[in-house]
Each structure stands twice: as structure tokens, then as C-alpha cells.
Structure 1
Amino acid sequence: MKEPPALGADWSKLPADILGTIQGELEFPDLFRSAAICPSWRAAARSLRRHGLYSRPQTPCLLYSTAAAGARAAELYSLADRTTYTIPLPDPPIAERSVVGSSHGWLVTADARSELHLLNPATGEQLALPPVATVEQVSPVLDDAGDLQRYDLSFYDAKLPRKENQPPQPYAADRLRLRRVLYLKVVLSCDPSRGDCILMMIHNPYRQLSFARVGSSKWHWITTSFWVSQYSDGIYHDGAFYAMNLLGGIHRYTIEGSCATRDIVLKDTLPYMAYSMYIARTTSGDFLQIRRITTDTSEDSLETRTSDLEVFKVDLEDQQTVDVDTMGDDSLFIGHNYSCCVSTKDYPGLRPNHVYFTDDDEYSLMDDQDYRRDVGVYSLESKSTTEIVTPEPWLSRPIPVWITPSFTKINK
């Protein structure tokens, strides 16, 4: 007589500590799926997130808004499992904001009054940043009752004697125009939930730099002249910010209190200004200079498309850049996000030797018209571009942006 087949293991009775260890190693799509298996698994997943124990590094995702999601939610497209997730977000509505940065799982957004906020879409946490009125070239103008009437934006740099190239430009406090002109990109030194966090902002006029600490009350202007500044991108590494200017030079800024010390680590490498330039570090530690070439899609439109991407390794010793034919197993992410390389060995859902890009064209962002956004994946080998999602579902504002979700909550 045959023995009856052994019953399968009852996974619902897995010890909580073992279950938590297993779930803690899952990417968030798999964590969410595991939570649907049974009540005990759901409780374990909630406990991980509630107590801030779920800190597994995630594969980058594309965050964007859609008409279907509404004004107070965003869509998160996971490159790990090619699935879209809808996430509710706190006010002000995401549809009324501009996105000017994405670092360490946090968005930097500007509301209708041009005030900046840090927003973590994964946890729903939000922090106010120093007022726009504390930016050096922005002056609040009050009416007779003492209420804010408008902002004036002045056009000067640190060259003395001070000379303004044009009269200050007025911007109504409740209009969107100031934020589109002023803010270009903001990068963070670290995840704000993990401690002291500094923000570096590239802003107009003249693509200058200002910095602030999370929780502080003002932006500190880094006083540079027109020809020294004109920055295009920045990253944080080994205790300092590295900013790349439009001529390909790299400057290191060390922040101490309210002061910044500048060191030139790479001299200017280009004889012309390249407005779509990025700085990143490979997973092996090399600095990269990335040049993005775009073409207009029509004669009467500012709408552009990425037609080519050139990647160069920075040789700091010889003060030059070297053309890179391949990034090996690395993938590169550029746009309004923190420019970074990610190893496809650690994140198999990504394509090696590819550049994932989103739209960050300065002039189309300033314009009031809505444009089809420039989003895609570029192969350095075939020099061809493919779409992320077909047909593209996102609205043109706020612009789509790469974000690496972080479920770590702020320890209050």
C-alpha cells in the first residue's frame, strides 16, 4: 500500500523573523505581491515598512502623472517588473507642481507659488525647503497692506562692480512662470531620512549655484562670475559636491556652515557651451562626462528629441576626457534625476550599456505650451533609441522623472 503524499509546507506559519528577513530582500513589487499571500505575510510586510526596516536598494522607476491617476496621484513604472503602480501623494496636488530634482528616493518639487518641497512618493513624507524669497537674486515686493504682490528676479553674478544686464523682471506670486525660469536642477547629498542633508541648486540667472540644509531657513548663494558658473549638472561624492559647467569643467565645492570652498578638479574641455551636459560616476568609481545631442522635431516648435549621446571618461591626471565605447555592465540614468550609473549585475531588469533619459530641456520647460516629452532608452552600441512604454501614457506636466524608491522614513 502506497504512503499518502506529504502535504505541502504551511508557509503562513513561517517564523516572523525569518519571514521579515526574506521580505526585506525583495524589491517592492515582489514585497507587495508577497503581502497578498495571507494575513501573516501581509502583517510582516506592513511591519517592515512601519518600523523603517525595509531598506533594500531598489531598481530605478519612472514617475509621471496621467489623467487617469488624477491630480493627487502619480504613476510609478517599475523597470524591475515592467509594471505600473498608482501611488497617492499629499497636497499640493502633484499635477500643479514642477519637478526640479530626484535624489535618493526623494523628489524636489516647486508648487504654484514657486516654493520648494521635498517629497518621498514611497512613504508620502514631505518637507518644506527654504523660501524662494531667500534666493539671492529673488526679491519679494509687498503691497501697501504688507501682502506679497510679486517677486522681482535680478540678473547679476558675483562680478564687481555689480552690473545688471537688464532690469529686474517681475513675476506674480501666484503664477507659475517664476519657478519655470528660476529652478533648473536640485541634487541632494544623501537621503534626508538618514541625517544631515545638503541640497545644491542650479538656478537662473546664469545657471548659478546656491545651497541649503534640510530644515534651514535660507538658501546660500555661491558667489561665482558668469564665466566660472553656467553649470549644467552636479553630484555629491566623498563629502563634496562636484558641479560640471557648460564648457565641461568640473568644480568641487566643499560646504562648511554657510560657506562653500571651490576647487577646480577638471579644467574646461570644450571650446563651446554644451547645454545638455551631465556628470556621473561609474560603479567602478570613474567620473563620466555625458553630452546629449538633441534635434528639433519641427521648425516652429521647441519640442526636441534625443538623437545621440556621447559618453566620456574623465582623466583627472592628464586633465582630459576619453571617448567611451561601452559602459560594460552599467546602465546610466540622466534627466532631472541625480545622474548615476547602476550595475545590471545587481539589477537584472536593466539593460547594460544603455542610457535611460528623460526630458530636461531648459527652454521647453520655460514655455507655457505642452510638449510631448523626450523619454526613452538609448543603446550606446547600436546608437538607437527605444520607448519605455508604448503608447506613452504620461502628461507633459509635471515632467516624467527617474526615481529610485526609498521606503526609509524620517526618524522624528
Structure 2
Amino acid sequence: METRNYGRWSELPTDMLTSLLERLSVVDFQRSKLVCSNWYLCSKQTVRPKHGPPLLMLSLEEDGCVLYSPDEDRVYETTTNSDFLGYRFLASSGKWFLVGDSLSKLYIIDVFSEERIDLPPLESTEGGPFRLERKGAKEFNEESVIINGCNTCRIVDHEDLRGVLWVDDKNGDYVVVWQFGGSDEYLGFCKKGDDRYREIPTRIGVQGLDDMVLKGYNLYVLTSRHYIRHLDLSRQDGFKDVSENHMFPLRLPNVSWDEYARLRANKVISSNRCIAVTTSGEVLYVITIACETSMIFHVYKRDPKDLDPNTHDTRLVHVDSLGDEALFLDLGITVKVAADHTLGIEPNSIYFTRGDRIRRKKVTCLDLCVYNLATKTIINDYQNKTKTIKRFLGLCNLNVKDAQWFLPR
């Protein structure tokens, strides 16, 4: 039989290359696409789950960043780590991250390659009463043209900048929404092809901002007055409020005496409220409470009986189980867990890193954990010293200043 010497990796037979790619970790699989055009084409034909195991993007105190795979307990250096120095990772969508550099410029980057999309400058925002003027590398002069008959002006810092991101890997479409954490008065957003940001005023209609979730062209906003707004950003002429008519303030169920006693027994450090959107499009209301020795999570949804538009509030009920879904609070979404549990995603669990994802707060509780709703316990937490808890051992020697869960596709 004639044999052939495959001296180049690019000349591997398709069946051999496919077998190799199927055995790679999610990080190595993404990087394999960069080897050559043959490997890239073969990777597109390799059948893999929609989502791989969840990863953590870790920002280190020495201004570097690494990827961590809890499933493998392995730290990966980013391929362009030197280019990430000084970057702040604001949000993610699959393998894409919204980042801000040391000069307060925004980009969308592929963390597995060197691909980068430059975004318009922040001061290009138009369409509303607010104007941003750059005052240096890290500060902006934020001026309102007119509010209640008078002008206002204040200085905002780039550390206050927050954002959300959505990228469609199939056609390259994307949406970016940002705001300054110290201001809940407007949002800036852009889509693929835009050369400037358009403004969404939040003093009118949206009524303040406590949290936001971007899912496709749909922006969900938790307002300061406890309303939930739904904005459609797909329109060519801006955005449209497509919220339900039933827009009364959310009303939580009464706290039980057992829960009250539990809170009294734990010294509360901070609390936060946020929203998330399920795979079916249902909005969840989540309260996180950071205590000295534990994290407490409460998940609510709209009471299905509360359908009368004439009622004076929106009643919420406890969500005791997410079923076969997992909630990633960093992303503001739930994902369905495949039948193959070797993927490393825990069903009926909450993946959490911090409580000020959108609004910057004085107390930032960085707590890398996965919370099981059924047992109401933290099942992964590298900082927790309890012996019964599995720790992320690969992080023990890292000086982590920030982290985000993400789901590479």
C-alpha cells in the first residue's frame, strides 16, 4: 500500500483532522481555527455543542488577563495578552468581548484571536439632550442641554462606564449599549455600520436605570422605579418602546419569618437587584445578598395570575427551580443545559461573579461561585474555605481584581 508522509499540519486528511478537533478543549478548539484556512474550514464542519463549558475571563492586579476553565481547572494565557494590558472587560457575547482601553475607547474583540472591531468615540453620541466632551484620557464632561429648564454639567470617569453586548456570529451583526454607572439619565447605543451612538433618554419613558439585559436587538431595562421596560433596537430610525401595557411597579412577596431570621443571623455586606431573560423570553427579577459567610439569591418572576391591566402593581412569585436551565448573571440570560452533563454547566444553578455589573457601587463583592437553587448552597467558590465546597484550585495563586463568566460558541 502506498503511504504518504504528511509533513505539514495543514495537509492532514479531513477525517484525521476532524478527529483531532473533536478532542480539543473549547479554548484550544477556538485557537485551532487560526492555524490555517484548512483547519478553519474543517472546524466549521466539526459538530460540537452550541455552548461549551463556561469559562472565566480574569483581570489580574498586574494589568494582565487570563482565561480560566473550571471544568479543567486550567489557566490559559490569552493569545494577545500583551495587547490587553489596560483593557477593562465590560461585557461578552460568545467569544466576543466589549472592552474599553486606557484612553476610554471602546472595541469589540475576539478573545481567541487578534480580530478587533473599532467602535465610535463616546463623544459622538447624538439624538438627545446630553453631550459628552472628552476632558482627557479618563474623564468626560457630561453636559445636559436642558433639564427642567436649566443646564447641568458634571465630570464622569471612565471607571464608571458599563455596557452590554450582543454579536451574531452567523452574519457579524452586533449591538452595543453603554452608560456611565454614576448616571442613570441616558444610554448610548450603536449597531453594525453606525459611525456614532444614538441616545436613549431614561428620564422620559424608561424612568431611570438599575440594570439592563441585551438579547439580540431587544434591550430590557430595570428602572429605578421598579418597572421593566422592553426596547426594540432593530429599527433604522432609532428604537421603539415595545413594553407591555401592564407597567406598574413590581411587588415582591412577603418575606417569611424563617428567611428574616436567616438574614438577621448573617451580617449583610451588600445587596443588589438585577434582571435576566430566559430562553423563552420571560424576565426574571433577581436579588443577591452578600453576607460575611455566604451568598443568598432570590429569583422571582411575574405571577401568571397577574394578568389584569387594571391592577395597581405587578405581583411577583418565587422561582424555586430553573429546571434544565442555568442562569448566568454576568450575561443576564439563561441557557438550556444539554443532556450531556460532561459539558460542565450545572443545571438549576446561578453563575455569579459580582453585584455591580451595570451600576458601579461603593462595595464590590467579587465572589466567583455557582449557586445551586435546589440545595441553596454554593457548589463552587475558590475563596470559600469550607471543606465541603469544591474550590477553583487553579486560581489560588492569582491576584484577581475582576472576573466575568462567558460562554464561547
Partner of 1:75, secondary structure, is: strand
Which segment is superposed worse, 244-253 or 56-65? 244-253
Q: Tell me which residue corresponds to 2:298.
A: 310
Deviation string, structure 1 residues 147-168 (Cα, Å, up to 9, x no partner):
9896202368xx964545xx42
2 CA distance for matches of 1:187 and 1:149? 22
Letter in 1 for 2:297: L
Mapping for residues 227-266 of structure 1, pairs under 5 Å: 228-237=207-216, 239-246=217-224, 247-265=226-244
Q: Of 46, 54, 58, which aligns to 1:60?
A: 54
Instruction: Answer whether contact 1:290 1:309 (CA < 8 A) is retained.
Output: no
Partner of 2:123, secondary structure, is: helix
1 CA distance for matches of 2:229 and 2:113? 34
1 CA distance for matches of 2:134 and 2:221? 32
Following superposition, the deviation at residue 114 of structure 1 comes to 1.5
1 CA distance for matches of 2:239 and 2:322? 33
- Pick closer, same or farther for the CA change 1:281–1:394 going to 2, 3 Å: farther
Q: Of 267, 281, 296, which aligns to 2:278?
A: 281
- Pick closer, same or farther for the CA change 1:141–1:16 going to 2, 3 Å: closer
Q: Tell me which residue corresponds to 2:339.
A: 345
Mapping for residues 48-87 of structure 1, pairs under 5 Å: 48-49=39-40, 53=44, 56=48, 57=50, 58-66=52-60, 71-72=63-64, 74-87=65-78
Q: Of 142, 151, 160, which aligns to 2:140?
A: 151
Mapping for residues 84-233 of structure 1, pairs under 5 Å: 84-89=75-80, 92-94=83-85, 96-135=86-125, 137-140=130-133, 151-154=140-143, 161=148, 163=150, 167-170=152-155, 178-181=157-160, 183-191=161-169, 194-204=171-181, 205-206=183-184, 208-225=186-203, 228-233=207-212
Instruction: Answer whether contact 1:232 1:275 (CA < 8 A) is retained.
Output: no
Root-mean-square deviation over aligned CA pairs = 4.1
Partner of 1:241, secondary structure, is: strand
Following superposition, the deviation at residue 218 of structure 1 comes to 1.1
Letter in 2 for 1:310: H
2 CA distance for matches of 1:84 and 1:102? 19
Given the two structures, how large is their TM-score scaled by the length of structure 1?
A: 0.71
- Pick closer, same or farther for the CA change 1:198–1:306 going to 2, 3 Å: farther
Following superposition, the deviation at residue 108 of structure 1 comes to 0.9
Following superposition, the deviation at residue 224 of structure 1 comes to 3.4
2 CA distance for matches of 1:149 and 1:107? 20
Q: Tell me which residue corresponds to 2:405.
A: 402
2 CA distance for matches of 1:245 and 1:114? 26
2 CA distance for matches of 1:104 and 1:180? 24
Instruction: Answer whether contact 1:289 1:312 (CA < 8 A) is retained.
Output: yes
Instruction: Answer whether contact 1:188 1:199 (CA < 8 A) is retained.
Output: yes
Letter in 1 for 2:191: R
Deviation string, structure 1 residues 302-350 (Cα, Å, up to 9, x no partner):
xxx8722122344678265432111122221112x35332415255312
1:354 aligns with 2:333: no
2 CA distance for matches of 1:394 and 1:155? 43
Following superposition, the deviation at residue 118 of structure 1 comes to 1.0
Partner of 1:194, secondary structure, is: coil
2 CA distance for matches of 1:188 and 1:344? 22
Q: Tell me which residue corresponds to 2:257.
A: none
Following superposition, the deviation at residue 242 of structure 1 comes to 3.1
Deviation string, structure 1 residues 186-230 (Cα, Å, up to 9, x no partner):
221523x73222222344521633210235321100133266231
1 CA distance for matches of 2:59 and 2:34? 30
Following superposition, the deviation at residue 48 of structure 1 comes to 2.5
Q: Tell me which residue corresponds to 1:8.
A: none
Deviation string, structure 1 residues 366-411 (Cα, Å, up to 9, x no partner):
66x9x662221111122222405146455444x20112224xxxxx
Deviation string, structure 1 residues 71-101 (Cα, Å, up to 9, x no partner):
45x321224433222223266533x222211
Instruction: Answer whether contact 1:210 1:219 (CA < 8 A) is retained.
Output: yes
Instruction: Answer whether contact 1:138 1:153 (CA < 8 A) is retained.
Output: yes
Q: Tell me which residue corresponds to 2:289.
A: 294
Instruction: Answer whether contact 2:185 2:201 (CA < 8 A) is retained.
Output: no
Letter in 2 for 1:280: V
Given the two structures, how large is their TM-score scaled by the length of structure 2?
A: 0.72
- Pick closer, same or farther for the CA change 1:267–1:341 going to 2, 3 Å: farther
Partner of 2:250, secondary structure, is: coil
2 CA distance for matches of 1:255 and 1:358? 30
- Pick closer, same or farther for the CA change 1:400–1:129 going to 2, 3 Å: same
Letter in 2 for 1:279: A
Q: Of 244, 247, 253, which aligns to 1:267?
A: 247
1 CA distance for matches of 2:281 and 2:155? 43
Following superposition, the deviation at residue 123 of structure 1 comes to 1.7
Partner of 2:196, secondary structure, is: coil
Q: May I ask how many residue pairs the two structures share in their alignment?
A: 356
